Amino acid sequence: MSKELAIFNRIVEQITIEEDVILGKMMSLPGLKYNNKVFAFYHKGNMVFKLISSKLLDDLGVEYELLSPFKIKPPLKGWFVVNSIFVNSWELLTKEALEVMKTTFDK
């Protein structure tokens, strides 16, 4: 198991203590769900987060790419790919993505 996957698994263990948070799938990849909606997932040594904007990423100095899984479609709005170079920010970003999802569902 890679170091990055081990860190993702540790985050999963910690965050699934939250009510209504479970391990699930996003495009056949391991991800975290709140009320059955994915807010973060692991892909090829990186983590991908559903956030409202890039503000927190910019404030932390975390470099990112927009998630663009389709060849002919634009990137998915609000989905940010964070490289393992910034693995120390993954836990915080996971918590932020969960809060974003909670505010979306708990309105």
- Summarised one tens digit per residue, pLDDT across range 60-101 is 999 999 998 888 888 889 999 999 999 999 999 999 999 999
| Residue whose tokens read 């009510």 | 19
CATH number reported for the structural domain that contains residue 56 in this entry: 3.30.1460
Global pTM value: 0.92
Query: E-strand spans in the chain?
Result: 21-26, 29-34, 37-43, 46-50, 65-66, 79-82
| Residue whose tokens read 């309105």 | 107
Domain count, the chain: 1
Range of the domain at 59: 3-105
pLDDT at 107: 56
- Do 29 and 41 touch, CB atoms closer than 8 A? yes
Give the C-alpha separation, 98 to 92, whole Å. 10
